[in-house]
């Protein structure tokens, strides 16, 4: 009987196992953790942002340098297809006010339970607490159970969905890099993506405002601009508006040049309009009360102005307006890889074909975050993991000669044509 090994129980590995097993091919999925989907469950704590509803061209642009590579798998298993898959699993989705897509349950556990039940019906065998330690000269997976001796596992194809290196306690630890490099694959170093930045706040500011949200702001660095929200931490800033700029911050730090964020506290107001409002008499009101009433700055925004300009703010409306539109915040570092939401770097895309198969090792496929791509939060991370897992599953079926007339897999547009 034809048998495929999938290693990694995150979204990419589960999707590959789903596609392959739906075609009647036997699948065994190995995962080093006691249970699968742990990082997916953690993502679900914030509502499980599955994907995004924006037009596909804008969606694909979020992947930056990896856009061309990811265009085919994301178009083949689109955001609409992912929503349909969730519906098929009994987990209806909705589009939030920001365009992000969430399951109605606003958590991952119901979706994961339904998905695992479907995999069980399709005959997928899940072996938890089994760690892949490498491949032997014959291309067989070397799997160690519960820390025991590694044993070779024979399979007709192998899908590797081993994750990156963010949140290693959930299973993604990058331990695969040495032995995949030994196979001749080019691997870019894994670095933090979607991470917070470090800023040397004064003790007064850090004590008073740690945990305070900065809403409806815009942040710019080296010509890259992001709108959204951020949260003040004792050591810097976190949040979606910051995460989207991680590549630009990382590049500035790598160039050994000063990395300074420019924060626009009122991106909805042009500078002339802002200066006109600031020209109104303050009367007997305190500066803080006047700024709250006149330009609707929250206390944390006013605190940020004082942090950048000193306790005495400029009296000139044009100068103060310019400061509100561009608060300079020098960045001293970036969050650690272990605590980043995701990682950048990984298996170089030029070593992978359109079916997610390693060009130099036929029959071995890779998917998910272990590939060299990155994306901001907002549904783009999970979408690419699901889509590359789907593409790897289809690639395995094609490699085995089982792709046609077998359907391409659950949720795909081909199944509904």
Grouping H, G, I as helix, E, B as strand and the rest as coil, residue 344 is: strand
> For residue 410, what pLDDT is reported?
58
> For residue 403, what pLDDT is reported?
63
Residue for token pair 């989705």: 93
Pick the closest to residue 7 from 172, 132, 164, 129 (CA basis).
132
d(CA 129, CA 33): 5
Structure tokens at 192: 């933090």
Pick the closest to residue 278 from 245, 308, 238, 319 (CA basis).
319
Contact 112, 40 (CB under 8 A): yes
Contact 235, 199 (CB under 8 A): yes
Contact 38, 392 (CB under 8 A): no
Q: Tell me how crowded residue 361 is: count the other CB atoms within 10 A of its CB.
A: 17
b/e map of 287-313 (b: 16 or more CB within 10 Å)? beebbbeebebbebbbbbbbbeeeeeb
Pick the closest to residue 329 from 210, 266, 229, 242 (CA basis).
242
d(CA 5, CA 132): 11
User: Residue 151 forms beta bridges with which residues?
Assistant: 143
Residue for token pair 């699948």: 27
Contact 115, 89 (CB under 8 A): yes
Backbone angles phi, psi at 142, to 5 degrees: -100, 110
b/e map of 109-125 (b: 16 or more CB within 10 Å)? ebbbeebbebbeebebe
| All domains of the chain in start order, with CATH | 3-192+340-416 (3.50.50.60), 197-334 (no CATH)
Q: What is the DSSP string of 101-152?
A: EEETT-SSHHHHHHHHHHHHHTT-EEE-SEEEEEE-TTS-EEEEETT--EEE
The residues, ordered by sequence, that sit 6+ positions from 311 with a Cβ below 8 Å of its Cβ are none
> For residue 412, what pLDDT is reported?
57
DSSP 284: T
Residues of the chain with pLDDT under 70: 403-417
CA atoms within 13 A on the CB side of 106: 3
d(CA 398, CA 171): 29
């Amino acid at each position: 009987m034809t048998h495929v090994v999938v290693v990694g129980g995150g979204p990419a590995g589960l999707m590959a196992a789903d596609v392959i097993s739906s075609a009647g091919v036997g699948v065994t999925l190995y995962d080093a953790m006691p249970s699968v989907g742990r990082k997916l469950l953690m993502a679900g704590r914030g509502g499980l942002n599955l994907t995004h509803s924006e037009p596909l061209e804008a969606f694909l642009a979020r992947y930056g340098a990896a856009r061309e590579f990811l265009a085919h798998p994301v178009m083949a298993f689109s955001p609409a297809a992912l929503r349909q898959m969730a519906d098929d699993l009994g987990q209806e989705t909705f589009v939030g006010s920001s365009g992000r897509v969430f399951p109605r349950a606003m958590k991952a556990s119901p979706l994961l339970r339904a998905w695992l039940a479907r995999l069980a019906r399709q005959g997928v065998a899940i072996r938890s607490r089994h760690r892949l330690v490498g491949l032997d000269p014959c291309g067989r997976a070397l799997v160690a159970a519960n820390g025991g001796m590694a044993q070779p596992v024979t399979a007709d194809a192998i899908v590797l969905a081993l994750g990156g290196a963010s949140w290693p306690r959930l299973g993604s630890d990058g331990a695969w890099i040495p032995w995949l490099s030994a196979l001749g694959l080019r691997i870019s170093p894994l670095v933090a993506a979607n991470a917070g930045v470090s800023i040397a706040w004064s003790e007064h500011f850090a004590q008073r405002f740690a945990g305070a949200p900065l809403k409806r702001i815009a942040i710019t660095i080296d010509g890259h601009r992001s709108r959204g929200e951020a949260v003040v931490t004792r050591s810097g800033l976190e949040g979606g508006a910051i995460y989207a700029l991680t590549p630009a911050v990382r590049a500035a730090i790598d160039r050994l040049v000063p990395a300074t964020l420019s924060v626009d506290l009122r991106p909805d107001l042009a500078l002339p309009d802002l200066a006109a409002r600031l020209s109104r008499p303050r009367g007997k009101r305190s500066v803080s009360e006047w700024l709250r009433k006149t330009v609707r700055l929250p206390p944390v925004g006013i605190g940020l102005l004082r942090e950048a300009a000193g306790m005495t703010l400029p009296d000139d409306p044009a100068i103060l307006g310019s400061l509100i539109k561009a608060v300079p915040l020098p960045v001293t570092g970036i969050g650690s890889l272990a605590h980043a939401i995701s990682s950048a770097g990984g298996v170089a895309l030029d070593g992978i074909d359109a079916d997610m198969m390693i060009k130099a090792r036929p029959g071995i496929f890779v998917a998910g975050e272990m590939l060299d791509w990155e994306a901001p939060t907002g549904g783009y991370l999970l979408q690419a993991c699901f889509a590359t897992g789907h593409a790897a599953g289809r690639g395995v079926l094609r490699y085995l000669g089982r792709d046609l007339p077998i359907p391409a897999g659950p949720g795909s547009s081909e199944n509904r044509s």
